[in-house]
Amino acid sequence: MALYDVYAEDLELATSFNPELVLGNQTTKVVEFDRAFIESSDCTYVFHTNRELKRVKATKEGIQLEGFQHRTLEDVWRIQARKTA
């Protein structure tokens, strides 16, 4: 369970993604996510995403609509050296 707890914290598993909270009063923001890990004896492989989040407004049939647009800027596996104690 201790290992799961470490992954859960790194992947923010207990936190729902809410674009409204992420953006706050900003219109556009780049957010970063670590989405997966593969461990080996000498390093950690991390699947990392950079995503642009944008608040968008539109009008349809006279009704003002607000939504969010997500655009992936980068999806990449990165290698992290194992931390030594």
Query: In Å, what is the CA distance from 69 to each residue of 17, 57, 66?
Result: 14, 10, 10
Per-residue confidence (pLDDT) for residue 81, from 0 to 100: 76
pLDDT, tens only, 47-70? 999 999 999 999 999 999 999 999
Query: In Å, what is the CA distance from 84 to each residue of 9, 42, 43, 80?
Result: 20, 10, 11, 12
pLDDT, tens only, 10-23? 999 999 999 999 99
Q: Order across the sheet with 43-60: list the strands.
A: 28-39, 43-60, 63-81
For the full predicted model, state whether its pTM sits above 0.85. Answer: no
28-50: average pLDDT: 94
